[in-house]
Amino acid sequence: MDFEPDAEQTEIQQAIDALLERHAGPARAIQLAAHAGYDQPLEDALHEAGFLGLATAGAGPLEAGLLVESAARAGAVASVAAAALVAPGLEWASLPRPIALADASEAGPVRFAAHARTLLLRDGDQALAMRLAEGDAAPVRSEYGYPMGALPTRSLDGEPLAAGSGATLLRWWRVALALEIAGTCDGALAITTAYLKDRRQFGRAIGSFQAVQHRLAECAIAIEGVRWLAREAAYHGAPDEAAAVSAAEAARVAQLVFAETHQLSGAIGYTREHDLHVFSMRLQTLRLELGGVGAHRRAVATSRFGAGAARG
Amino acid sequence: MEFDLHEDDAAFRRDLEAFLHEALPEDWEARSADGPGSEAQAAFSREFCARLAERGWLTPHWPREHGGGDASAWRHALLGELLWSVGEPRGPQYMNVNWIGPAIMQYGSEEQKALHLPRISAGDVLWCQGFSEPEAGSDLVALRTLALRDGDDYVVNGTKIWTSYVNHADYCFLLVRSDPESTRHRGISVLLVPMDTPGIEVREIPSVVGERYFHEVFLRDVRVPVSCRLGPEHEGWGVVSYALQYERVGAARYARAARTLDALAERARSRGQLGDPTVQEKLGEARAQCEAARVLTWRVIDQRAHDLPPSADTNVARVAGTRAEQAVARLALELFGTEALSHGSFADSQFRLAMTAGVAVGATEVQLNLVAQRFLGLPRE
Ligand SMILES: Cc1cc2nc3c(=O)[nH]c(=O)nc-3n(C[C@H](O)[C@H](O)[C@H](O)COP(=O)(O)OP(=O)(O)OC[C@H]3O[C@@H](n4cnc5c(N)ncnc54)[C@H](O)[C@@H]3O)c2cc1C
């Protein structure tokens, strides 16, 4: 057991951060959002640097998980989790990128689908990889932080994985969500903390009011919990219970952090001038995927206590 | 960064579980229902701790020169986690081995070490912690209990309150103000006081938590030899800060909560409630909170294992542990409904044991202040 990064992990993390510093960040996200764009150059840069292969080549799923968390913290507009963590989890390493993740039981728009070349579809207990051509998934307008597309209506060529692969996809997707939520919450929290230190009302920094401090402290505590649960789950290869636990806690915390960071940021927090929305609106997308907090919690109960029939 | 329990530690945990299986009496659940301070548990602790001591498991983390085994921070934490989760069969003695002994090792005179350390290591002495006072709760440094020098003695006058375990204790780790002119952190001393010293009166404060849970301790002209002072005169705050850094995350409340939750799920199953998606969601929510508290506590243990200085991560873990325990306790009542209201029912016992979580060993709000200031760097009020 060692919560501190070793020398190699520190080196990987620094290299990831340096790349994201150059290619990503809220300003870039806002610029892309103006035309629902996708950051192909960022994805290509991550690929060329070898980061999308961290899970399989040399490092492991924990290091891939650190990449997912970092990319989310930088507001990256690229489908990093699917390529770096979820597809390798299915031992499906060389799918055409970008990869979008979809659940056949969900009717809503799908993150990154409009730009994806592969749709990794969970259909009950089976996972399918489907080729997408340009125009297959029509763009859907959405304010929830990501470029979105509609699931194609025409039948697609798909490569099914064995029965049971749906559960594997689900486990890794849950861990990926938790890592994305941890990183995205970090982004929202950092912006809000800076605002509370700078913004003065009633002759003092509003961050000095105890009522405000406690709310932000609760967010920080909750985010730390999600981060370490998700990293631990990634390290262990996304076991059923740990994956569901991290997703359940993450989905809860996503809503807490959304609500508190907006409330504490006042009116400026709702505007496109202020970076908060880059992170906060994404939290809603992330917390709803895979049936949301209720489904994750039922999955925890099922794997921990063998409760009833699995739902969702 | 890696999350595998060391093979030796995992083996140790298995051995300890096997030992507990054999060493805990059949009626342990009933005996431990009133918490580590109850009559039954204080008495059992002497027997149990002696058996732990025989195996070197009472003070494994102590240095060898004081009879310990130089065990790692991890070994010590796993021991505490498992014992607390089954209801703390060490009774009040967890305090002795966790921080009272180490404080005596660091600050004690040769005479004090020779008197106290062997008894603590043998597992047959009970201590209590005399810190809080009627006017000094969250703001502990407002304490007023006065110890005035008179020859080779201090004459102590004052009142302590909420003192757990004092009704069974042989000694009190007592905080006093030795410099009457002083305020706040200065002028405090620590006295190691035998509880049979004349002038000490203990009165129970009846509570809804349990019997003999809270006490008031009146100290009237209690003569304590100067040789019982631990550490330098007037610098007791340093002694306490040192001692309590050993208690960073305190009792493993999340582990007890997780075990209670497993038991709750079993009871829900036998009552046919487990198929209900609402029940599943509540169980899942509470399990996730217990797990978050565990991993955050383990992070603090790991910092300790790395010899890193105490950080605000401790406060983060403490709040998460409190929240987890509160969530499980609430759920216990909700699952059983009004049946929970009968005195001594499973849900009732769990709920009342957990209800003090946000106040005992420091209010949650004080922890949140520290997280806001030290972890987030927000300005002080
Ligand atoms: C089960 C139990 C066992 C205990 N055992 C012992 C023992 O063995 N020995 C011992 O010395 N003491 C013991 N205590 C006492 C314990 O340490 C105190 O209860 C605790 O420090 C809080 O002090 P208080 O109860 O006086 O609450 P107060 O200080 O009166 O505070 C009441 C409430 O006010 C709020 N508050 C206080 N300060 C702040 C602040 N700065 N910012 C925001 N809100 C604040 C919090 O919500 C707090 O809960 C025990 C308490 C309990 C419940």
Q: Are A148 and A102 in contact (CB under 8 A)?
A: no
Torsion of CA B185, B186, B187, B190, to 10 degrees: 50
Please give the pLDDT value at position B141. 96
Return the minimum-mean-pLDDT range out of A246-250, B196-200, B360-364: B360-364
Tell me how far apart the alpha carbons of residues B117 and A261 are, in angstroms, rounded to a whole number: 51
CATH topology of domain B129-235: Butyryl-CoA Dehydrogenase, subunit A; domain 2 (2.40.110)
Q: What is the DSSP letter of B339?
A: G
- What is the best residue among A209, A210, A218 to mutate for testing ligand 1's pocket, by most ligand atoms within 8 Å of CB? A210
Tell me how far apart the alpha carbons of residues A145 and A30 are, in angstroms, rounded to a whole number: 9
Helix (H) or strand (E) holding A122: strand A118-123
Please give the pLDDT value at position A310. 42
pLDDT tens, position by position, A22-50: 999 999 999 999 999 999 999 999 999 99
Structure tokens at A125: 């207990």
- The answer to whether position A258 is within a domain reads yes
User: What mean pLDDT, rounded, does chain B reach?
Assistant: 94
pLDDT tens, position by position, B257-282: 999 999 999 999 999 999 999 999 99
Which residue, by CA, sits nearest to atom 1 of ligand 1? Answer: B360
Q: Does B245 touch chain A (CB under 8 A)?
A: no
Please give the pLDDT value at position B32. 86
Tell me how far apart the alpha carbons of residues A7 and B315 are, in angstroms, rounded to a whole number: 28
- Angle at CA of residue B101, ends B97 and B107, nearest 5°: 160
Start-end of CATH 2.40.110.10 domains in chain B: 129-235
pLDDT tens, position by position, B103-148: 999 999 999 999 999 999 999 899 999 999 999 999 999 999 999 9
Q: What is the DSSP letter of A208?
A: G
pLDDT tens, position by position, A117-138: 999 999 989 999 999 999 999 9
8 Å CB contact of B371 and A217: yes
Please give the pLDDT value at position A163. 86
pLDDT band at A178 (very low <50, low <70, confident <90, very high): very high
Report residues whose beta carbon is within 6 angstroms of any ligand 1 atom: B 128-132, 137-138, 162-164, 356, 359-363, 365-366, 369
pTM for this predicted structure: 0.96
Please give the pLDDT value at position B39. 83
pLDDT: which is higher, B40 or A256 = A256
**Cβ neighbours of residue A110 closer than 8 Å, sequence gap 6 or more:** A100, A101, A102, A119, A137, A148, A149, A150, A151
Structure tokens at A264: 């504490």
**Average confidence (pLDDT) over B172-198:** 97
pLDDT band at B35 (very low <50, low <70, confident <90, very high): confident
Please give the pLDDT value at position B189. 98
Q: Are B222 and B198 in contact (CB under 8 A)?
A: yes
pLDDT band at A312 (very low <50, low <70, confident <90, very high): very low
- The answer to whether position A283 is within a domain reads yes
Start-end of CATH 1.10.540.10 domains in chain B: 7-124
Please give the pLDDT value at position A157. 74
**Average confidence (pLDDT) over A160-180:** 95
- Amino acid letter, A271: T
Please give the pLDDT value at position A308. 65
Q: Are B188 and B156 in contact (CB under 8 A)?
A: no
**Average confidence (pLDDT) over B82-96:** 93
Architecture of the structural domain at B7-124: Orthogonal Bundle (1.10)
Q: Are B96 and B120 in contact (CB under 8 A)?
A: yes
- The answer to whether position A12 is within a domain reads no
- Superfamily per CATH, domain B248-375: Butyryl-CoA Dehydrogenase, subunit A, domain 3 (1.20.140.10)
**Average confidence (pLDDT) over B275-298:** 97
Q: Is the dihedral of CA A150, A152, A153, A158 positive or negative?
A: negative
- β pairing state of B171-177 and B153-161: unpaired
**B164 pLDDT more than 80:** yes
Start-end of CATH 1.20.140.10 domains in chain B: 248-375
**Shortest CA distance to A285 belongs to which of A264, A312, A258, A248?**
A258
The label of the residue with tokens 């008031």 reads B216
**Shortest CA distance to B94 belongs to which of B29, B164, B24?**
B164
CATH code for the domain in which residue A203 is found: 1.20.140.10
Contacts of A207 in chain B (CB under 8 A): 378-379
Share of chain A above pLDDT 70, in %: 98
Q: What is the DSSP letter of B336?
A: H
Of A1, A228, A298, the CB nearest to B74: A1
How much distance in Å is there from the Cα of A30 to the middle of ligand 1?
47
Structure tokens at A18: 């340096």
Which residue, by CA, sits nearest to atom 33 of ligand 1? Answer: B363
Residues in chain B: 381
Q: Is A176 helix (H, G, I), strand (E, B) or coil?
A: helix
**A223 pLDDT more than 90:** yes
pLDDT band at A147 (very low <50, low <70, confident <90, very high): very high
Structure tokens at A300: 């925890």
Please give the pLDDT value at position A156. 72
- The answer to whether position A253 is within a domain reads yes
**Average confidence (pLDDT) over A191-218:** 98
Please give the pLDDT value at position B210. 85
Please give the pLDDT value at position B373. 97
Closest approach of A301 to chain B, Cα-based (Å): 5
Of B282, B306, B376, the CB nearest to A217: B376
Q: Does B10 touch chain A (CB under 8 A)?
A: no
What's the distance, Cα to Cα, between the start and end of chain B in Å? 37
Structure tokens at A217: 């402290």
Tell me how far apart the alpha carbons of residues A128 and A138 are, in angstroms, rounded to a whole number: 20
Domain containing residue A235: 166-311
Helices B313-336, B346-354: axis angle to 10 degrees equals 150
Please give the pLDDT value at position A311. 41
In chain B, the residue whose alpha carbon lies closest to the alpha carbon of A191 is B376
8 Å CB contact of B285 and A2: no
**B184 pLDDT more than 60:** yes
**Shortest CA distance to A299 belongs to which of A249, A230, A241, A255?**
A241
**Average confidence (pLDDT) over A244-270:** 98
pLDDT band at B347 (very low <50, low <70, confident <90, very high): very high
CA B49 to each of CA B23, B97, B123: distance values in angstroms, whole numbers, following the listed order? 11, 10, 5
The total number of structural domains in chain A stands at: 1
8 Å CB contact of B291 and A210: no
Tell me how far apart the alpha carbons of residues A223 and A220 are, in angstroms, rounded to a whole number: 5
Q: What is the ipTM of this complex?
A: 0.96
A267 by Cβ neighbours in 10 Å (0-12 / 13-18 / 19+) ranks as exposed
**Average confidence (pLDDT) over B332-346:** 94
Question: Catalytic amino acids of B?
Answer: 247
Please give the pLDDT value at position B361. 84
CA atoms within 13 A on the CB side of A254: 27
Tell me how far apart the alpha carbons of residues A68 and A54 are, in angstroms, rounded to a whole number: 11
**B152 pLDDT more than 50:** yes
Omega of the bond leading into A88 within 30 degrees of 0 (cis): no
Please give the pLDDT value at position B100. 96
User: What mean pLDDT, rounded, does chain A reach?
Assistant: 95
pLDDT: which is higher, A6 or B30 = A6
**B249 pLDDT more than 80:** no
**Average confidence (pLDDT) over A261-265:** 98
Q: Are B346 and B352 in contact (CB under 8 A)?
A: no
8 Å CB contact of B274 and A304: no
Tell me how far apart the alpha carbons of residues A156 and A141 are, in angstroms, rounded to a whole number: 23
8 Å CB contact of B277 and A298: yes
Helices (H), chain A: 7-23, 26-33, 40-48, 61-73, 80-81, 87-89, 165-198, 210-235, 240-265, 276-288, 292-305
Structure tokens at B193: 């006081």
CA A239 to each of CA A84, A123, A171, A245: distance values in angstroms, whole numbers, following the listed order? 18, 20, 7, 10
Structure tokens at B371: 């997280």
Across A161-189, b (16+ Cβ under 10 Å) vs e yields: beeebbbbbbbbbbbbbbbbbbbbbbbbb
Please give the pLDDT value at position A309. 47
Please give the pLDDT value at position A252. 98
Q: What is the DSSP letter of A150?
A: P
- The answer to whether position A224 is within a domain reads yes
Structure tokens at B179: 């410099």
Closest approach of B228 to chain A, Cα-based (Å): 41
- What is the best residue among B38, B173, B359 to mutate for testing ligand 1's pocket, by most ligand atoms within 8 Å of CB? B359
